[in-house]
Amino acid sequence: MAQISLTFPDGTAREFPAGTTAAEVAEGISKSLAKKAISASLDGVHWDLQWPIEHDGAIAINTMQDDAPALELIRHDLAHIMARAVQEIWPDVKVTIGPVRDFGWFYDFDRAEPFTPEDLGRIETRMREIVNAREPVRTEIWERERAIRHYEETGEPYKIELIHRIPGDEPIRMYWHGDWQDMCRGPHLLHTGQVPADAFKLMNVAGAFWLGDNTRPMLQRIYGVAFRNRNDLKAHLTMLEEAAKRDHRRLGREMDLFHFQEEAPGQVFWHPNGWRIYTTLQDYMRRRQDRGGYVEVNTPQVVDRKLWEASGHWEKYQEHMFIVEVDEEHAREKAVNALKPMNCPCHVQVFNQGLKSYRDLPLRMAEFGSCNRYEPSGALHGIMRVRGFTQDDAHIFCAEDDIEVETKRFIEFLSQVYSDLGFSAFKVKFSDRPEMRSGSDAVWDKAEAALRQATQAAGAEFELNPGEGAFYGPKLEFVLTDAIGRDWQCGTLQVDFVLPERLDASYIGKDGAKHRPVMLHRAVLGSFERFIGILIESHAGKLPFWLAPRQVVVASIVSDADDYVAEVTEMLRAAGIRAEADTRNEKINYKVREHSLGKVPVILAIGQREVAERTVSLRRLGEKHTRTETLDTLVDTLTQEARAPDMR
């Protein structure tokens, strides 16, 4: 029999007969290791202990101490165990797929009746029984035809469809958890008892389209989370509770920032406190932009459909625009307008006024552009995804040769802003051509190459997001994360050779001839609404002093201090601090609690002592101790802190 050589992590190598399983390799090292083994890593591939090894390679045996493989196996085996439990309870349920994801797994089922919360309890109980029964897991490779015949007999149409989607050269692998069979790539554990019985939990049920395709049937997806031990599970559940407290929708109410109501779904009613954040952020952005070489414009809200037809948006996004029909008595035809869903076509109109020369380029045209989009009802989410919003939008009209330097310049600009606002880490995604698109393949080749090259030149690391580009060009997405780990696109940079063509933008080059400019669509915050949502969640409402809507509350301890409280408040206001007096007939404990919950960064308490000494007792949000300060130092420190990062 042929021999193979396996190298272990410590560098030693040993010979084994070809076809030896990873379990046998572990056995060969030591009995105790074999007992603890859960899987192997073979040349970086996660390898089932039951799989035979046919070639030389580097091998490591994994135990439950190895985080990544342990969690993957626990979660993946639980997906199968859950599906088995479901089919044991309801034999007519059809199974589909069940991958590992985030902190657990999900499995999609086809069942006529909805799963109820009580059903989840039943499933979970049955799962525990299966785990405690320590049933063996075994695996086989099957002929494609045999697998199809099997699923025809057992009535599993989704599995048959999956088989047809597996490339012809890939083996069809079957797994059994006890007697229950599922087609699966693996790897898996050796028996169900290796899954910790007290470290998983079924979370919720939701609909999900089969194969992610909204023209296919909707299945029921059950989500679960699982960890290596009970404490990790508990920690995760606690984390979710904490995250819920940071939800911007909740904090928006508690801090009195904004509200929504039925009459304007997806549109924000900003309250004074919330609007303060908004305008402070906008003032900051405007200063940054002014200094970043942008010019600011403002363009119409209601624009004739002809412009949207010309830009190509009408064809692709008509369904998602707010249409405004104007029925003029004497007009021969109804005028059909749309609320602008984005600003770019209008910016081209500004660009097109008068002849432009190459000397005018690059022209960086910015607008705090209010847009309206009829977003699908299911997409709305607090102020993060809305139907009315304002972008910190800009279009850079430039020559093709400028793309690289402008991209680099933009990434630097964005990084500066993000770091000012407390986001040092963010993801970058590169999205290339989608199926539905404008422009020839040659133009797309050019645009993608230019953006890719420029991004690499700027030293930005990105992950690829295939097919996710805008219809007119490839894009970079700058992604931030909310309180419970959901990603949101904020900044973006899009290279566009299409719109200038469609809307006939041109400039006179050095050679005296007409040329097409390239447009770079870009936003840093994305929308003020979404970005403020992210800001609130990432700070848990405790915004930095310069952004806090209410910066200081001056609270009286006794009513004899009221006049002095008014004096201090007035003094702070005169210095540009957002200060309020609280002279209500309440105890200081009460006032401290209320304003702490309201996330006011500084509370000044004033009693007889402070009045007599002309000082204040200063308490910062989240801190227990207080300190006494004179009025001069107070105004000094606070005005310092109130300065925006770009003014320091």
Partner RNA sequence: GCUGCUGUAGCUCAGAGGUAGAGCACUCCCUUGGUAAGGGAGAGGUCGAGAGUUCAAUUCUCUCCAGCAGCACCA
Query: Does residue 100 contact residue 76 with C-beta atoms inside 8 Å?
Result: yes
* Residue 205 touches RNA, criterion: CB under 7 A: yes
Shortest CB 437 distance to RNA, Å: 11
Shortest CB 262 distance to RNA, Å: 4
Q: Which is nearer to RNA, 114 or 459 (CB)?
A: 114
Of 146, 149, 245, 486, which one interacts with RNA (CB under 7 A)? 486
Shortest CB 270 distance to RNA, Å: 16
Active site residue: 50, 181, 194, 391, which one?
391
* Residue 214 touches RNA, criterion: CB under 7 A: yes
Of 92, 153, 241, 262, which one interacts with RNA (CB under 7 A)? 262
Query: Does residue 626 contact residue 640 with C-beta atoms inside 8 Å?
Result: no
The CA angle 418-535-624, to the nearest 5 degrees, is: 115
What is the rounded end-to-end Cα distance, in angstroms, of the chain?
75
Burial of 438 (0-12, 13-18, 19+ CB in 10 A): buried
Residue partners of 627: CB distance under 8 A and separation at least 6:
617, 618
Q: Is 614 a catalytic residue?
A: no
* Residue 67 touches RNA, criterion: CB under 7 A: no
Region near RNA per CB under 7 A, out of 54-62, 179-187, 209-217, 420-428: 209-217
Shortest CB 323 distance to RNA, Å: 11
Query: Does residue 220 contact residue 82 with C-beta atoms inside 8 Å?
Result: no
Of 317, 358, 426, 462, which one interacts with RNA (CB under 7 A)? 317
Each residue 607-626 as x (binds RNA by CB under 7 A) or -, in order, gives xxxx------x-x-xx-x-x
Q: Give the Cα separation of 154 and 151 in Å (integer).
A: 5
Name 34's bridge partners: none
CA count, 13 A, side-chain hemisphere, 120: 17
- Which backbone phi and psi does 450 adopt, to 5 degrees? -65, -45
The torsion defined by the Cα of 448, 450, 452 and 456, in degrees rounded to 10, comes to 180
Window 134-163: residues binding RNA (CB under 7 A):
none
Q: Is 364 a catalytic residue?
A: no
Active site residue: 344, 346, 398, 490, which one?
344
* Residue 237 touches RNA, criterion: CB under 7 A: no
Active site residue: 159, 177, 249, 475, which one?
475
Window 546-605: residues binding RNA (CB under 7 A):
556-560, 585-590, 592-593, 596-597, 603, 605
Each residue 510-549 as x (binds RNA by CB under 7 A) or -, in order, gives -----------x----------------------------
Name 367's bridge partners: 393
Question: Is 344 annotated as ligand-binding?
Answer: yes
Q: Give the Cα separation of 74 and 242 in Å (integer).
A: 25
Q: Is 150 a catalytic residue?
A: no
Region near RNA per CB under 7 A, out of 61-69, 145-153, 235-243, 341-349: 341-349
Burial of 587 (0-12, 13-18, 19+ CB in 10 A): exposed
Window 409-468: residues binding RNA (CB under 7 A):
none
Question: Is 521 annotated as ligand-binding?
Answer: yes
Q: Is 475 a catalytic residue?
A: yes
Of 19, 121, 155, 265, which one interacts with RNA (CB under 7 A)? 265
- Between the alpha carbon of residue 46 and those of residues 23, 24, 36, 278, the distances in Å are 13, 16, 16, 49
* Residue 344 touches RNA, criterion: CB under 7 A: yes
The residue with tokens 């566009």 is 496
CA neighbor of 273 nearest in space, from 22, 595, 512: 595
Shortest CB 261 distance to RNA, Å: 7
Q: Give the Cα separation of 385 and 266 in Å (integer).
A: 7
Q: What secondary structure does DSSP assign to 13-81, as a single string?
A: EEEEETTEEHHHHHHHH-HHHHHHEEEEEETTEEE-TTSEE-S-EEEEEEETTSHHHHHHHHHHHHHHH
Q: Is 184 a catalytic residue?
A: no
Q: Which is nearer to RNA, 4 or 203 (CB)?
A: 203
Q: Which is nearer to RNA, 187 or 341 (CB)?
A: 341
Question: Is 381 annotated as ligand-binding?
Answer: no
Q: Is 521 a catalytic residue?
A: yes
Q: Which is nearer to RNA, 122 or 316 (CB)?
A: 316
Shortest CB 224 distance to RNA, Å: 13
**How much of the chain is helix, strand and coil, in % rounded to 5?**
40, 30, 30
- Residues that bind RNA (rule: CB under 7 A) add up to a total of 74
Coil vs helix vs strand at 306? helix
Of 8, 142, 176, 260, which one interacts with RNA (CB under 7 A)? 260
Strand 463-465 and strand 579-582: the pairing is unpaired
Q: Which is nearer to RNA, 69 or 341 (CB)?
A: 341
Window 72-111: residues binding RNA (CB under 7 A):
none
Of 235, 323, 355, 379, which one interacts with RNA (CB under 7 A)? 379
Q: Is 313 a catalytic residue?
A: no
Query: Does residue 469 contact residue 437 with C-beta atoms inside 8 Å?
Result: yes
CA neighbor of 413 nearest in space, from 293, 547, 532, 518: 293
* Residue 121 touches RNA, criterion: CB under 7 A: no
Residue partners of 253: CB distance under 8 A and separation at least 6:
259
Annotated binding site: 344, 395, 521
Annotated binding site for Zn(2+): 344, 395, 521
Catalytic residue positions, numbered: 344, 373, 391, 393, 395, 475, 521
